[in-house]
Amino acid sequence: MKAFLFPGQASQYVGMAKDLYAEFDIAREYFDKADDILQLDLKHTCFEGPEEKLVRTEYTQPAIFVHSVIVDAILKKTGSRPQLAAGHSLGEYSALVSAGVFTFEEGLAAVKLRSQLMQKCCDDNPGTMAAIVGLTLQQVADVISGIDDVVPANYNSPSQVAISGTRQAVEITCEKLKNAGAKKTVMLAVGGAYHSPLMQYAGEKMTEFIESLNFNKFEFPVVANVSAELIDDPVKIKELLCEQVTSPVLWYPTIMRMDAFGIDEYYEVGPGKTLQGLLKRSLKGRQYSMTGIDRVEHLDKFVGEKA
């Protein structure tokens, strides 16, 4: 059984989707629509950079979303469809487009607002995130409990947790976590303190927007970030999306839910290899396959003749 996994922020890189734009009509169509809808030079920023611009939330989120949805659309045209999908943070919007809950244009409008609101939070309340390797969620939580302005943000694998908060608090916490036995701490290439109370304003405004949308029936279930539950109810996913901006991403529980469902074939649909690495750490000892689909060369075996 097959699942599509959609990446979130920190998966971006200069040059992303440039080869897809050159090869596929649907890539050109979606990027041209995105530039019109966003009123940003998204194509140029994705293809040529500079990196300092691409890492800004207002560019990063649409870039990853558009790249992922293009790859998903190409796969669907070849007849490759999943039984389940999930997306890491921002990637949940890509997963919901894949499941038919809303269209590319509707999803992009939501991502546009989300990125703008989160960028405002980044500017008004500067912060950052770090990945902690070698400690469990409980071990990280125990250390964080005595420190203000930092929270666990992503439960990524059995031994990787991302923390989020003000830069000073994250740096202090990283040192304390090293002393507590963390193998390493890595500052993430993100624009702010996502999935933390510093995003409260964005969460409130996104709730107003999401509640105004009409969601379609699911073509297949999506495992939600906030609860790690299989969701195929438009009302329920709307409630969970409203909570998502400030709630932790339960990615490791999400993968465990998919594993229990019987998924043994995983595809990372979009830029980077982050989710492949997390899957490898999460499914040790299990039989499964994982394929990253990012560039034209990865699509050759699915497409045959290029569209």
d(CA 212, CA 205): 11
- Mark whether 195 is an active-site residue: yes
Tokens of 252: 């490791």
Q: Which amino acid type is present at position 134?
A: G
Please give the full DSSP string across 128-170, using - where no structure is assigned: EEEEEESS-HHHHHHHHTTSTTEEEEEEEETTEEEEEE-HHHH
* C-alpha count within 13 angstroms, C-beta hemisphere, residue 209: 19
**Choice among 67, 94, 195, 282 that is catalytic:** 195
Contact 129, 160 (CB under 8 A): no
Instruction: Find the catalytic residue in 11, 89, 94, 196.
Output: 89
Long-range contact set of residues 158-162: C-beta below 8 Å, sequence gap at least 24: 158/252, 158/281, 158/282, 159/133, 159/134, 159/135, 159/281, 160/131, 160/132, 160/133, 160/278, 160/281, 161/131, 161/132, 161/135, 161/136, 161/137, 162/129, 162/130, 162/131, 162/132, 162/188
Cα gap 157→223, rounded to integer Å: 16
89 noted as active-site residue: yes
Structure tokens, 231 = 């969701």
Q: What are phi and psi of 226, to 5 degrees?
A: -70, -35
* Active site residue ranges: 89, 195
